[in-house]
Chains A and B, each alone.
Chain A
Amino acid sequence: MEILMAIVVGILFTSAVYLMLSKSLLRIIIGTSLLSHGAHLLLLSISGLKAGAPPLLGEHAADYADPLPQALILTAIVISFGVTSFFLVLAYRAYQELGTDNVDQMRGNEGND
């Protein structure tokens, strides 16, 4: 099961890198979302995908899933959610001000010469 997840995460990372190397800003943002999906799935699967009850003590099971990675993922999800929404608004504002969403055309002399 972990091997299958590793391959899926690899595909997600590949797609994310491909999208982030493209010219359109929206494709780049989709790439960052895929990257964080990949990272979160990796965090879940790498601590082991053994069969066990959901981490609720009311289940009275003999074996539970590891609760720590789930807490880490939950934290990482809200952080990446906040950053992504900020990035999307920034992209919208940049489109209004600069008039393009092509990162190749977002050049200027002030910061780059």
Chain B
Amino acid sequence: MINLPILPILIPLFAAIILMFFGKNITMQKWIGAIATAGTVAASIVLVNVVHTEGIQTVDLGSWKAPFGITMVSDMLSALLVTTTSIITFFVLLYSFRSIGKDRERFYFYPVVQFLLVGVNGAFTTGDIFNLFVFFEVMLMSSYVLLVLGGTKVQLRESIKYILVNIISSALFVVMVAYLYSVIGSLNMADISVKIAEFDQPGILTVIAVMFLVVYGLKGAIFPLYFWLPGSYYAPPTPVLALFGALLTKVGVYSIIRTYTLFFYHDTGYTHTILAWLAILTIVVGCIGAIAYWDVKKILIYNIIIAVGVILFGVSVMSPESLEGSVYYLIHDMIIKAALFLLVGVMIAITGTSNLRKMGGLIKDYPWLGWTFLIATLTLAGIPPFSGFIGKLLLVRGSFAAEAYLGGGLILLSSLFVLYSVIKIFLNGVWGVPKEYNGSNKHNAFYLWGSTVFLVILAVAYGVGAEAVRPLISQASEALSDPGIYIQAVLKE
């Protein structure tokens, strides 16, 4: 199958188009959506297997040779991220069957989710900088619709801010593509990398590198550019929030990883120092937010920001070990953030509030929910048998080996704050005195929990079976430390 790398984009695309014909037939929408997403998961797992055995897969669209046409590139990093994305979308879809409500389902919720999957998978797979912009827009446009769908006052208000921020960052993206094109004269990522290496990164390319950091930082919520995220992510309903929290910022993070390891690795003293400091400040800001709030959604939203900082610090160190840690932590964080948002969504569905002070005693009537949540919190904080541990271990070892003691120490310290912030939810919401709740009934809550528990199991298996996934992660991070592998696979010199 030479078109295998684009199957995870094509399947949801066709599913979305078909789904638009069944606007009012909700049963049909659910079936087609679930089958298509399961197909995407299957295709992406096959893709990971093929990339593992045969190396980086490329598709030259329209058979135009590499620098002239659009090339889709599946290296191990993008294949793993596509797989994670598809799996998360599948379980979020199952969750939304019972929680999103008829009003939203009748107005094209499922097609828009498929379009979001198209945008995210496409952004992970593309090998062309302008095509990346287009897939960003596909993803953002779907996220605008998902954010505002339902039309409550808080959603309208926050959508305005979210759209405005993203229009500005998209315009900046176009400007940066223009500058890069004027200096390099190419849009293909591998070709750009070759030509930057020939010029040995003059001053103007360092400026472009920093501006790319601004563009992707606005999408991925790094330190001075994270201001839109807490408000915007508070507005949408739980399944949408889980999709946003797990996928959208990670696309920005992936783009920073890609550009800073493939394009701008010559003058690391300047650009990567900026990245390191921004990552450190991002962790600090996230920690402050995570321990400040008594609202379960807010706590988890600030935990997204902490994770972005941790991953990017590993990228800024640029040693093979820290890059491996970043890749491992990135995938861990996508899975566990989706699981935590969905679990918290079950708690909100039962109690009818997201205020921690009004919750309590869920363990008495819902023990399965309470214990799953405890495992998820321990996984997030990085307690040894679970998946957060190995990523952070590699990150900390990598940064200590590179003598970045401040960042490495801060990553260790941030785990403590992460643990405190989520255990606060556990102690106040799950333990404590039981209260009267008038939210959703036990049967419904059990279904919602049932679609989440697979993600928690996956996260635990990802930690316990680290030895099994280690070859994949190593393969992904090798291509990051040595851009030559990527370039050779695309340009076939």
User: Would A110 and B130 count as touching, CB distance under 8 A?
Assistant: no
- CB A42 to nearest CB in B, in angstroms, measures 5
In-complex Cβ contact of A90 among B130, B137, B148 (8 A): B148
User: Would B163 and A86 count as touching, CB distance under 8 A?
Assistant: yes
Q: In which size bucket is the chain B interface?
A: 35 or more
User: Would B174 and A76 count as touching, CB distance under 8 A?
Assistant: yes
- CB A32 to nearest CB in B, in angstroms, measures 5
Beyond A40-B174, A98-B156, A112-B231, whether A72 also contacts B130 by CB under 8 A is yes
In-complex Cβ contact of A91 among B151, B160, B181 (8 A): B160
Chain A residue numbers with a CB within 8 Å of B130 are 72, 75
In-complex Cβ contact of A103 among B158, B160, B175 (8 A): B160
- CB B422 to nearest CB in A, in angstroms, measures 21
Majority SS at the chain A contact face: helix
- CB A26 to nearest CB in B, in angstroms, measures 12
Interface string of A28-63 (1 = CB under 8 A from B): 100010011011101100111000000000000000
User: Would B175 and A39 count as touching, CB distance under 8 A?
Assistant: yes
User: Would A46 and B181 count as touching, CB distance under 8 A?
Assistant: yes
Chain A residue numbers with a CB within 8 Å of B230 are 111
User: Would B174 and A25 count as touching, CB distance under 8 A?
Assistant: no
Chain B residue numbers with a CB within 8 Å of A68 are 181, 187
CA distance A93 to B145 in the complex (A): 13
In-complex Cβ contact of B160 among A43, A47, A94 (8 A): A94
CA distance A32 to B156 in the complex (A): 18
User: Would A75 and B134 count as touching, CB distance under 8 A?
Assistant: yes
CA distance A108 to B159 in the complex (A): 13
Residue of A nearest to B234 (CB): A111
User: Would B156 and A94 count as touching, CB distance under 8 A?
Assistant: yes
Beyond A75-B130, A112-B231, whether A82 also contacts B178 by CB under 8 A is no
The number of A-B residue pairs with CB atoms under 8 Å apart is 107
User: Would B177 and A72 count as touching, CB distance under 8 A?
Assistant: yes
User: Would B156 and A87 count as touching, CB distance under 8 A?
Assistant: no
Interface string of B67-99 (1 = CB under 8 A from A): 000000000000000000000000000000000
Residue of B nearest to A37 (CB): B171
- CB B119 to nearest CB in A, in angstroms, measures 12
CA distance A95 to B195 in the complex (A): 50
Q: Which B residues from 167 to 219 make CB contacts under 8 A with A?
A: 167-168, 170-172, 174-175, 177-179, 181-182, 187
User: Would B157 and A106 count as touching, CB distance under 8 A?
Assistant: yes
CA distance A12 to B443 in the complex (A): 58
In-complex Cβ contact of A39 among B145, B163, B171 (8 A): B171
User: Would B160 and A106 count as touching, CB distance under 8 A?
Assistant: yes
User: Would A97 and B151 count as touching, CB distance under 8 A?
Assistant: yes
Q: Which B residues from 326 to 363 make CB contacts under 8 A with A?
A: none
Beyond A39-B171, A39-B175, A82-B141, whether A90 also contacts B156 by CB under 8 A is yes
Q: Which B residues from 91 to 136 make CB contacts under 8 A with A?
A: 130, 133-134
CA distance A22 to B151 in the complex (A): 25
Residue of B nearest to A2 (CB): B182
Q: Does A1 contact B (CB under 8 A)?
A: no
Q: Does B235 contact A (CB under 8 A)?
A: yes
User: Would A25 and B181 count as touching, CB distance under 8 A?
Assistant: no
User: Would A97 and B153 count as touching, CB distance under 8 A?
Assistant: yes
CA distance A43 to B141 in the complex (A): 22
Interface string of A75-113 (1 = CB under 8 A from B): 110011011001100110110011000010011101110
User: Would B141 and A90 count as touching, CB distance under 8 A?
Assistant: no
In-complex Cβ contact of B178 among A46, A75, A80 (8 A): A46
In-complex Cβ contact of A110 among B145, B160, B187, B234 (8 A): B234
Which residues of B pack against A, CB within 8 Å? 130, 133-134, 137, 141, 144-145, 148, 151, 153-154, 156-160, 163-164, 167-168, 170-172, 174-175, 177-179, 181-182, 187, 230-232, 234-235
User: Can you report 8 residue pairs joining A to B where beta carbons are below 8 Å apart?
Assistant: A20-B168, A35-B171, A69-B178, A80-B167, A82-B141, A83-B167, A87-B167, A111-B231
Which residues of A pack against B, CB within 8 Å? 20, 25, 28, 32, 35-36, 38-40, 42-43, 46-48, 68-69, 72, 75-76, 79-80, 82-83, 86-87, 90-91, 93-94, 97-98, 103, 106-108, 110-112
Known: A80-B170, A111-B154. 12 other contacts (CB 8 A): A20-B164, A35-B168, A46-B178, A69-B181, A72-B174, A75-B134, A86-B144, A90-B156, A91-B160, A98-B153, A98-B156, A111-B231
